[in-house]
Structure 1
Amino acid sequence: MNSKSLKAIVQVVAGGLLLVLMVLYSSKILERKDAYVKYEGFFREKNDYDVLFFGSSNMQLMVNPLQLWGECGITSYNFGNTSERLPVTYWTIKNALNYTTPKVVVIEVSQYGQSEKYKDMYSVHLAWDRFPLSLTKIKAVYDVLSPSDPRHELLFDIIIYHDRWKELTEEDFSTDYSKLRGYAANLEYTAFERPEYEYRIDEAATQTEGVMYLEKTVEELQEKGIQVVFVHSPEVNTEEKQARINAASVTAQKYNVPFIDFTVMEDCVVDYSIDLSDTDHANVKGAAKLTHYLGEYLVNNYDLKSHAGDNSYDDWNASYEQFKAQYDGVVLKEKKE
């Protein structure tokens, strides 16, 4: 091979590498930032997490990992996501387990009995955009989305975000991300009276496809030696919805999984007149009470050791102090219709 041919090959290879780098950089700039901001912290952690939390936005607003750290010295991440259905949760857990091995997984079951695989593409993008392309992610996309759905957008998100250049702001060039470990703090309240329900179980809910995914989730976690807990956030429900969620007890009993239902438990943890932002979600005050309860439950029932005093967790201390400085003593605003 003469020098001219070699030089041409080098130029082609160098040009190809430059093109790849430009595409990767462009995709980072153009991607929607909410997934990055929420989940980047998960990938930055050098140690395994003790507990992972999954579910819909009910979970996202009810458990504060930084409070768990401050009170119990345990590490956790909150993967709660807007309108997330159980099939999406199944695959989110499988993706997360490629990066960490928790001792306990806590699943919020307000979506129990839902028949659809996913609510909308926004929710799926938020759940999976930050996970790098992998065999698990490919399997997830092809399982949850039908052939008529835009699967390629989830595997190569630059396809959907390529024209965002017209709406780019300074924030799109920032590498800052949330240190709340997935938690979202709500600062509004709506005054409710705590409902009373006639206890019944919607047996049909146990036969839905979403519950099949929940059962697969539990089976696979238990096979790995990971403990599972079901929770249901405090809500203001119809009798029909509560009967559907009560059916989660059937699955819990089948797999010997604890089920903590904050909506119907005898000793209510929250004050319905001040601790909820709306019918489905806790505010920051309610989340503090729920997190405290769950922290005590987890520490008392599972082999979770405190990492307090370990210098490798200094970032947790800094994040916790920052959270307290921002939210301690915060005054809630009444939510307007």
Structure 2
Amino acid sequence: MYRQRLLITLLSSLLIAWVCGTYFDHRFKENWQRVFFDKGDACANSTPDYDLLFFGDSRVQFGIDPYYVDSCTKLSSFNFGIAGADPRVTALFANWYLENHPAPKIVAINLDEYSIDSTDAFEAMFGLLYYLKSPTVTDAMKKMHYNTALIKLLPFTKYSFFDDYNRMTIFRSDLNASGSAYGKYSYRGFTSLNPLNFKDHAIVIDDGKNKDFKINLAQVANMENIITSFLQKGTKVLLFYPPIKDSIFETEKIKKEIAIKTGTQLSAKFNIPYIRFDTMSLFKTDMFFDHAHLNETGASILSKKMGEEINELIFKQ
């Protein structure tokens, strides 16, 4: 009798955990669909294939709208930019995409100061735990010390690995919150920023830390591996530096100069273009959401110019 009650209790507990986990899955995916899961689904699903892929951090995610790029190039593109992404994240999504798709014709990779700095974006990318059917993702998460075997067996246990912020967003998404930085428009991985909340997100604190900034050689090596991998597959690769406000602090400019020097060196080493959008006079102050991110108007201008540059640099070589 005792064993029977124990078994019933155990099965009931597992059933409740499964129901709660299924509900949490639905809510978390719903809340982060257009800024993360659209990108994961594009990698995991075998169709459609894209001709042109964009990789990078939030300056790509909020700055490159495939709609305008495609209208110029007549290609089919997707934006894999993710806030906080470093070359490790870019490599993961690139390899994951190639797991289920042929190599694209072209990839455009953002190389700025955030690309060559240390971040914890990879370690905190909990959305990847929903895609453990992928060998690429599973291997990456194992290296981050996640118990992937347990999560595969009991999917609801992944929530025990979430940090407080991501647990909170199961029930409340920043995408829909009052005062959110996110706009309403999204398309193939691109998400607009909300111009009405510019003042809330435009403040940058100069803490002086950047004056001692040093390049992260491991991140540069990761970037070189990404470039080499695509070139070996016959994909044309270009690097670019997005627009940025001239009013950034002197210590931010130090990081920018180091990043541009790195991009120039990689461009020469691999004989690939490095487009400097920061030197173009197209981007006015009112096109920025904050010092480094474009608003929807600025993103449309950048995307059209990106399409023109691709036509000029890639198709007319």
Q: TM-score, normalized by length of structure 1?
A: 0.65
- Of residues 225, 250, 255 in structure 2, which corresponds to 1:241? 255
2:191 aligns to what SS in structure 1?
coil
**CA shift at 1:103, angstroms?**
0.7
Q: Give, in whole Å, the separation in 2 of the partners of 1:135 and 1:217.
A: 18
**CA shift at 1:241, angstroms?**
1.3
State whether residues 50 and 78 of structure 2, in contact with CA within 8 Å, keep that contact through their aligned partners in structure 1: yes
- The within-5 A match list for 1:162-181 is 180-181=187-188
Match of 2:269 in 1: 254
State whether residues 275 and 285 of structure 1, in contact with CA within 8 Å, keep that contact through their aligned partners in structure 2: yes
Answering whether residue 297 of structure 2 is matched by residue 285 of structure 1, we say yes
Deviations 1:194-247 (A, max 9, x none): xxxxxxxx9952x61111110110111111111111111112442211122112
- Of residues 187, 191, 195 in structure 1, which corresponds to 2:194? 187
**CA shift at 1:119, angstroms?**
3.2
Q: Give, in whole Å, the separation in 2 of the partners of 1:44 and 1:138.
A: 16
Change (3 A) 1:151 1:46: same
Q: Give, in whole Å, the separation in 2 of the partners of 1:34 and 1:129.
A: 16
Deviations 1:29-48 (A, max 9, x none): 25443443344362668432
Match of 2:182 in 1: none
Answering whether residue 313 of structure 2 is matched by residue 301 of structure 1, we say yes
- The structure having more radius of gyration, on CA atoms, is 1
Match of 2:218 in 1: 209
Q: Give, in whole Å, the separation in 2 of the partners of 1:165 and 1:152.
A: 22
Match of 2:54 in 1: 53
State whether residues 35 and 130 of structure 1, in contact with CA within 8 Å, keep that contact through their aligned partners in structure 2: no
State whether residues 27 and 170 of structure 2, in contact with CA within 8 Å, keep that contact through their aligned partners in structure 1: no
Q: Give, in whole Å, the separation in 1 of the partners of 2:292 and 2:168.
A: 36
Match of 2:4 in 1: none
State whether residues 129 and 158 of structure 2, in contact with CA within 8 Å, keep that contact through their aligned partners in structure 1: no
**CA shift at 1:134, angstroms?**
1.7
Change (3 A) 1:61 1:129: farther
Deviations 1:160-183 (A, max 9, x none): 3379799658xxxxxxxx861110
Change (3 A) 1:30 1:167: closer
Change (3 A) 1:154 1:299: farther
Percent identity (aligned):
20
Change (3 A) 1:277 1:153: farther
Aligned residues: 261
2:34 aligns to what SS in structure 1?
helix
**CA shift at 1:26, angstroms?**
5.2
Q: Give, in whole Å, the separation in 2 of the partners of 1:167 and 1:31.
A: 5
**Counterpart residue identity of residue 269, structure 2:** K
State whether residues 63 and 287 of structure 1, in contact with CA within 8 Å, keep that contact through their aligned partners in structure 2: yes
2:108 aligns to what SS in structure 1?
strand
Match of 1:33 in 2: 30
Change (3 A) 1:35 1:167: closer
Change (3 A) 1:129 1:35: farther
Q: TM-score, normalized by length of structure 2?
A: 0.69
Change (3 A) 1:161 1:32: farther
Match of 1:67 in 2: 68
**Counterpart residue identity of residue 225, structure 1:** G
Q: In structure 2, list runs of 5 or more residues that go unmatched.
A: 1-10, 173-184, 203-211
**CA shift at 1:151, angstroms?**
5.2
Change (3 A) 1:254 1:45: same
Q: Give, in whole Å, the separation in 2 of the partners of 1:289 and 1:119.
A: 28
**Counterpart residue identity of residue 281, structure 2:** C
Q: Give, in whole Å, the separation in 1 of the partners of 2:20 and 2:100.
A: 25
Change (3 A) 1:154 1:140: farther
